[in-house]
Homo-oligomer: A and B are copies of this chain.
Amino acid sequence: MQKFINTNDLIEMEKQERVHLINSLGGFKSVCLVGTKNKANQTNLAIFSSIIHIGANPALIGIIFRPAAYERHTLDNILETKFYTVNHINEDIYMQAHQTSARYDKVLSEFDATGLNTEYKNDFFAPFVKESHIQLGLNFKQKIDLEINNTVLVIGEIIQIYFPENCQNADGFLDLEIAQTITCSGLDSYHKTKKINRLSYAKTDKVLTTI
């Protein structure tokens, strides 16, 4: 049976039920750990699932941050230092990754709290997550306040990329399953994937083929 929910139903819905439902509706999501450090060398690590590809040239990624009513250590550090890392999550570290969402005091690093390790390389300011298989170093570019609900879109340029050599296909594509990257749904559900197919570039007069 198909269930139908409209705006009035959403308004009347218990808050947590609405949060779980609406967070499920966007489908499977990218889930990553964002690593930062403030000028006093205090590190921070936080899990985000609101990550979006914005463009390939320049290489841009966007992240949505929640309203200013909450403490946002990651955002503060990005604005203060301009550099941050985005680290893919694999099955070995998903519980530690989820645990970073607990409200640790600002002076306690989530690296220390969860046992994940910092990694510094190629003079990049912010800490990578050593246990992550695909690691990106980003340079802050733009902050856009979304007044509609007081969230913030932060756009950064990817300036360093690390990935396992054996996961790259000849055409540039990364096989994220070889890199063991996982995905999430809703607020708290983690999933492995199984490839169905890679499809050829769609044309109006050609049948799709497997790449």
A residues whose Cβ falls under 8 Å from a Cβ of B = 1-7, 10, 13-32, 49-62, 64, 88, 91, 94-95, 98-104, 113, 122, 134, 136, 141-142, 144, 146, 148-149, 151, 153, 155, 157-166, 168-169, 171-174, 176-177, 181-183, 185-204, 208, 211
Residues on B with C-beta less than 8 A from A199 are: 95, 98, 188-190
Q: Knowing A10-B59, A171-B17 touch, does A202 contact B52 (C-beta < 8 A)? A: no
Please, how many angstroms separate the alpha-carbon atoms of A33 and B181 in the complex? Answer: 24
Is there contact, CB below 8 Å, between A4 and B162?
Answer: yes
Is there contact, CB below 8 Å, between B176 and A4?
Answer: no
Please, how many angstroms separate the alpha-carbon atoms of A174 and B24 in the complex? Answer: 6
Closest-by-CB residue of B relative to A196 is: B190
Residues on B with C-beta less than 8 A from A62 are: 52, 64
Q: How far is the CB of A135 from chain B (nearest CB, A)?
A: 9
Apart from A27-B176, A191-B196, what are 18 other A-B pairs with CB-CB below 8 Å?
Answer: A2-B162, A2-B165, A3-B168, A20-B174, A21-B172, A21-B173, A23-B173, A25-B61, A27-B181, A50-B52, A50-B53, A52-B52, A58-B148, A98-B208, A113-B204, A141-B148, A173-B189, A194-B194
